[in-house]
Amino acid sequence: MSTFDLFTTFVHLDSRDGAHPVPVTDTFWPELMAGERVYDGRMITASHISGDVDHWERHPAGGEVLILLSGAVDVVLDQPEGERRVPLDAGQAFIVPQGVWHRIVMRKPGDLVFITPGEGTDHRAL
């Protein structure tokens, strides 16, 4: 056992055999988006937020938990009646509902923890 950086490593929470670190290599994202990497259960990671996220995403396999450690962001939800902004300040958390397109708009730089379904994340351009 050793420590690791949550900003460069996912933690895979596997319901069968526990928690495992998954380093984010150069091929991690392309393989994940192509369906070459599949993780059941949940994935945890952290990100430094220094600007707006440049795409929409959704998680058909379940809701996503967002925990803002520092800074301030808006979670923008694409809903049938139009966009809804949910302000998130340091120390607050929000659950993005399953299957809802969403993106992050920065109000103040900070750090955000994501607890995300390991399967089936979709992306689309703004």
Look up the CATH number of the domain holding residue 110: 2.60.120.10
What integer is the mean pLDDT of 81-100?
Answer: 98
pLDDT value of position 67: 98
Pairing of strands 122-125, 55-58: antiparallel
pTM for this predicted structure: 0.90
Q: What pLDDT does residue 53 have?
A: 93
Q: Looking at the domain assignment, is residue 100 inside a domain?
A: yes
Residue 4 inside a domain? The answer is: no
| Total domain count, the chain | 1
pLDDT of residue 40: 86
Instruction: State the pLDDT at residue 123.
Output: 86
Residue 107 lies in a domain: yes
Does residue 32 surpass a pLDDT of 80? Answer: no
pLDDT for 79 equals 96
Q: Which two tokens stand for residue 85?
A: 């902004």
Residue 106 lies in a domain: yes
Does residue 1 lie within any of the structural domains?
no
How far apart are alpha carbons 48 and 61 in whole angstroms? 25
Percent of the chain residues topping a pLDDT of 90? 74
Residue 15 lies in a domain: yes
Residue 56 inside a domain? The answer is yes
User: Domain range holding 53?
Assistant: 9-125
CA distances from 23 to 52, 62, 95, 96 (A): 24, 23, 25, 25
72 domain-assigned: yes
* Dist. CA 70–CA 80, nearest whole Å: 30
| Residues above pLDDT 70, as percent of the chain | 99
Judge contact between 119 and 40, C-beta under 8 A. yes
